[in-house]
Amino acid sequence: MATDAPPPSKTEHRLPSTEEFVAVQEGAEFGELRSSHRSFAFPLTVAFIAWYLVYVLLSNYAGGFMGTKLFGNVNVALVLGLAQFLSTFLIAWWYARHAAAKLDPKAEAIKSRMEGGA
């Protein structure tokens, strides 16, 4: 005995079909969202990896430079190593701000339209 499912209540969300997902994925709005994410994330990822590799290469091949004391027992290697942590947190903070301002509103609009059946 088959029964029809009741319509979704205001707290429930309708699950979009595969065709709807594909249509949204191929749409201009989703392309704009993806482009906005990639134009921020990819260059920063490349820059951070390059910065990390410079640090590693300096540590391996420029020991004299990295061992240069700046003040007290603090040398260039320590300062650059701590800068690695600082840059990681700054990039995460910057991405969170970017996502909240540019990505989340677009993603929420797409999500609500898909779940609402519009």
pTM, to two decimals:
0.73
Q: What pLDDT, in 10s, does the model give residues 39-48?
A: 999 999 999 9
Q: What does the alpha-carbon distance between residue 98 and residue 47 come to, in Å, rounded to a whole number?
A: 17
- Of 15-24, 68-77, 82-91, the poorest mean pLDDT is in 15-24
Per-residue pLDDT band for 23 (boundaries 50, 70, 90) equals confident
Q: Phi and psi dihedrals of 117, rounded to 5? A: 80, 15
Give the model's pLDDT for residue 28: 87
Average pLDDT, the chain: 87
Q: What does the alpha-carbon distance between residue 81 and residue 115 come to, in Å, rounded to a whole number?
A: 46
Q: What pLDDT, in 10s, does the model give residues 58-84?
A: 999 999 999 999 999 999 999 999 999
- The answer to whether 86 touches 51, Cβ cutoff 8 Å, is no
The percentage of the chain sitting over the pLDDT mark of 90, rounded to a whole number, equals 60
User: In 1-118, which ranges are continuous DSSP H helix?
Assistant: 18-26, 28-61, 63-66, 76-98, 104-116
